[in-house]
């Protein structure tokens, strides 16, 4: 059990709460269509359940591969940073080789799982892996690394939608834009903690490049764009009041996290990063799915 616990800690399994709810939005968006709960009932429940399980597995495998690879690639930097020196690889809890094999295993499991979904998802799976794994390199050469992380997580609603329908649609794309801007914005807030360290190691981030105050301004702009995206998705998708109640909660959490973070006071970064964003994604997804089911 301790080994499992160590690997769950390595990949920060609790952070799955950020992207998984948006994958569920993409899934139910496709599964309910325009007929809501009754349309869902008319389908083969075994097939729907199978797709649901496969989507969850894809999310877990892709994210596990990405996080483990990030820890593997950053292990030398993590060892130098007092904030991250306690992580599993620099602390000697999990060896670098085992973390790499864990990455490879999860990447293969992800591709294998997409094979049982449909051909389109299977063909696109290497591209998805390239994005989520490639993020780990970006901090070495561009301050736009936050946007690449956002791009990786933004594949969740599109991927889940494709798993059910096998077709592209604009509505899950709008939700993906919301995820890109939302994740990029809160990742900038999280990176405020390592501004000086990143600069000393010639690593790139918005805070290291522009300083804390300007970084927060950019984070606020990105979160404004995220809120705009969910509003546009609501209009385009002709959602009802359940959806708009979710938008209020989501937007409120964005505003809240910026109200508690100051350039001179980062003591509540974890509250903003984990709690506020966890509530934003989970509650928003529940309201969106409720709206889809009552159509």
Give me the residue spans of the domains in the chain: 2-293
pLDDT-based confidence at 295, cuts 50/70/90? confident
Read off the pLDDT of residues 151-165 as tens digits, 9 standing for 90 and up. 999 999 999 999 999
Residue 48 has pLDDT above 70, yes or no: yes
**Of 237 and 32, which is predicted with more confidence?**
237
Residues 6+ apart with CB under 8 A from 177: 154, 225, 226, 229
**Of 46 and 149, which is predicted with more confidence?**
149
Residue 47 has pLDDT above 60, yes or no: yes
Task: Note the pLDDT of residue 14.
Answer: 79
Given 1.10.357.140, 3.40.50.720, 1.10.10.10, 1.20.1270.30, which CATH number is that of 2-293?
1.10.357.140
Task: Note the pLDDT of residue 12.
Answer: 87
Nearest to 21 by CA among 278, 294, 292, 293: 278
Task: Note the pLDDT of residue 275.
Answer: 85
Task: Note the pLDDT of residue 271.
Answer: 81
Q: How far is CA 249 from CA 24, 66, 189, 231, 276, in A?
A: 18, 29, 20, 12, 10
């Amino acid at each position: 059990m301790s080994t499992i616990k160590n690997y769950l800690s390595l990949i920060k399994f609790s952070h799955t709460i950020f992207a998984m709810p948006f994958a569920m939005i993409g899934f139910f968006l496709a599964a309910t269509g325009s007929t809501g709960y009754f349309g869902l009932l008319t389908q083969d429940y075994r097939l729907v359940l199978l797709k649901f399980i496969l989507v969850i597995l894809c999310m877990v495998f892709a994210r596990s591969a990405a996080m483990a690879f990030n820890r593997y690639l950053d292990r030398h930097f993590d060892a130098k940073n007092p904030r991250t020196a306690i992580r599993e690889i620099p602390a000697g809890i999990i060896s670098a080789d085992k973390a790499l094999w864990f990455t490879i295993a999860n990447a293969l499991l992800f591709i294998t799982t997409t094979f049982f979904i449909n051909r389109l998802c299977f063909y696109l799976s290497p591209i998805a892996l390239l994005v989520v794994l490639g993020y780990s390199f970006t901090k070495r050469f561009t301050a736009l690394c936050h946007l690449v992380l956002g791009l990786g997580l933004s594949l969740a609603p599109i991927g889940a939608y494709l798993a059910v329908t096998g077709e592209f649609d604009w509505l899950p794309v709008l939700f993906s834009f919301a995820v890109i801007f939302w994740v990029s914005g809160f990742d900038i807030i999280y990176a405020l903690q390592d501004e000086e360290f990143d600069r000393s190691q010639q690593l790139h981030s918005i805070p290291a490049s522009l300083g804390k105050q300007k970084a927060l301004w950019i984070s606020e702009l990105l979160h404004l764009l995220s809120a705009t995206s969910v509003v546009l998705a609501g209009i385009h998708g002709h959602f009802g009041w359940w959806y708009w109640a979710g938008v209020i909660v989501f937007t409120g959490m964005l505003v809240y996290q910026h109200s508690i973070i100051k350039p001179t006071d980062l003591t509540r970064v974890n509250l903003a990063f984990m709690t506020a964003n966890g509530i934003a994604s989970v509650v928003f997804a529940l309201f969106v799915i409720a709206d889809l089911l009552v159509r």
